[in-house]
Chain A
Amino acid sequence: MTSNDTQLFNLNYLDILSRQDTPLHRLDPRAKVMTVCIFIVTVVSFGKYEIAALLPFFLFPAVMIGLGNLPAAYLGRKLLVILPFALLIGIANPVFDREVLFRIGPFSVSGGWISFCSIILRFVLTALAALILIATTGFMGVCAVLERLGLPRVFTVQLLFIHRYLFVLSDEAARMSRARALRSFGNRGMTLTTFCPLVGHLLLRTIDRAQRIYLAMVSRGFTGSLRMRSRLGFGRREALFTAGWAAAFMLMRIVNLPEAVGRAVEGMLR
């Protein structure tokens, strides 16, 4: 039987990581969520042909991975899993944007390729930051903070439930597909005529389960708001963390550091 661990790309390993005890994990979740939000907004705000100025931003994930004792290889594999989405978004750029921006020897580099690279870079940065956030704060912590920061409760509750029942649902789907495989006698490919009823059935089962869960919730006094214990403390450490990184991001945003370094080196050589 396939366990939860092998399914869904070992998703709950992120949860295990989030239960470590490092200075970064002990930090109030609000500080981490805000910092990552500022990071993402800053990264996204660059012009579409920007590549060099984005590179210093890798400092943030690098430091976080170090402080949070996170396995970089694991996070890298996670990124690869979602990379196709970014490729899909960026892949049309080289086709449509053929204006030549500069030449390296005999090769001319079009704007499309530059913006394509920029998209991939931004994707890697932002997705990595989100993964790190969950690996250091836990999915639940992130949801609690989002609610505290004003995200409508409906969304946070939805997120929590998706997270909780993803495993149950994937198990259910796995059981159904195994039941099909055991009776298909070497007929490996799933045809549309078996796939459609299977998915429909899964949906019906899900609705049934949702009803039972709701029942369990109302019988324990659920009235629409999810209350969770939260003993958060936003102290000086948190303020320092957030303000420090925010200042660093601003600096990286305003000053093109690689260019500045390049110019300084050029100046010295002259």
Chain B
Amino acid sequence: MSHHIIEVADLRYTYPDGTHALQGVSFRAVHGESVAVVGANGAGKSTLLLHLNGYLMPSQGKIRIGDLPLAKGTLQEIRRTVGMIFQDPDDQLFMPTVYDDVAFGPLNLGLPLDEVDMRVAKALDLVGAAHLKDKPPYRLSGGEKRRVAIATVMSMSPDILVLDEPTTGLDPLARRQLIGLLGNFQHTKIIASHDLDMVADLCERTIVLHEGAVRADGPTADIFRDDALLAACRLEKPLSMQKCPVCAPKINKGVLMTHDHH
């Protein structure tokens, strides 16, 4: 199934104000791969993501999604293939009810009403939000909004998922549930995030962006062990790979106390 592949070659993008946001980014993600894109604020993560479904067109370089090159004529097909989930669910949920929002994509694809109905039910079931069907989006909690936002994309049966900061603003349980949910998806995934623990849980591969270019690209475990690289790119080891700040001093204390006794 070659259409789950993302290929980015020497991608360059300059914003109208002259900011060189991307300066030659290249990578290739294959079918079913989960790839994290990490980097400091302003490293170019969002700009890269916006290219993947053709909202921005490269100033230079090429992007291929599956069998199709990104071009004006292939936009519709590429937007169906690549499901984009935004950082702020309030931007993504713009219809009056959850149902209408999830049905928005399928209706735009021109599917018959029965099929739309079925897809909406399936997508809402998948994210565990079937009971929210008739609610207006502004009455949902943050976690519910995030789930519904994912459903709005899943109802179009995309092959590739692109997520921008999926865990921001979620409480720990909602975050954990979301990680579980995303882990179950078989899609090719590109996840941009500062939540490096989530990255460690979900993505076998990590791309580090620094000042608009790929600084490192490799297995997540290797990248997070490279202290020099992380420091240079304004990153930190995921908490799960750091020494426990609670237990560590306790041991020291214990040692001190035994010394006192003697």
Contacts and interface: CB of A to CB of B under 8 A. Distances in A.
Contact of B108 (A139, A163, A220): A220
A19 B117 CA distance: 20
* Residue among B94, B99, B100, B117 with the highest chain A CB neighbour number at 10 A: B94
A220 B96 contact: no
A220 B134 contact: no
Interface string A160-172: 1101110110000
B136 A220 contact: no
A168 B138 contact: yes
Given A212-B88, A227-B107, A217 B94 contact: yes
Interface in A191-224: 209, 212-213, 215-223
Contact of B153 (A4, A19, A215, A220): A220
A221 B76 contact: yes
Q: Which of B91, B97, B117 has the most CB of A within 10 A?
A: B91
A164 B100 CA distance: 12
A124 interface: no
B80 to A, nearest CB: 7
Nearest to B82: A219
B232 interface: no
Most buried by A among B76, B80, B92: B92
B54 to A, nearest CB: 8
Interface of A is mostly: helix
A228 B86 contact: no
Nearest to A223: B108
A8 to B, nearest CB: 12
A212 B164 CA distance: 13
B90 interface: yes
B84 A140 contact: no
B53 interface: yes
A167 B79 contact: no
B55 A218 contact: yes
Contacts of B95: 160, 164, 228
A15 interface: yes
Q: How large is the interface on B (under 10, 10 to 19, 20 to 34, 35 or more residues)?
A: 35 or more
Contacts of A216: 84, 86, 91-92, 94
The interface residues of chain B, by DSSP majority, are classed as helix
A221 B108 CA distance: 6
Contacts of B66: none
A229 B91 contact: no
Contacts of B90: 168
Contacts of B105: 220-221
B109 A221 contact: yes
B13 interface: no
Interface string A140-173: 1000000000000000000011011101100000
B221 interface: no
B70 interface: no
A172 B243 CA distance: 40
Nearest to B52: A219
Contacts of A256: none
A136 to B, nearest CB: 16
Interface string A218-252: 11111100011101000000000000000000000
Contact of B113 (A139, A219, A229): A229
Interface of A: 4, 12, 15, 19, 138-140, 160-161, 163-165, 167-168, 209, 212-213, 215-223, 227-229, 231
Given A12-B138, A220-B105, A220-B156, 6 more contacts: A4-B138, A209-B91, A215-B55, A216-B94, A220-B79, A220-B152
4 nearest interchain CB pairs? A221-B108, A220-B105, A227-B107, A212-B91
20 contacts: A12-B136, A139-B96, A140-B96, A209-B91, A215-B50, A215-B55, A216-B86, A219-B53, A219-B55, A219-B79, A220-B156, A221-B80, A223-B108, A227-B104, A227-B108, A228-B103, A229-B99, A229-B107, A229-B117, A231-B113
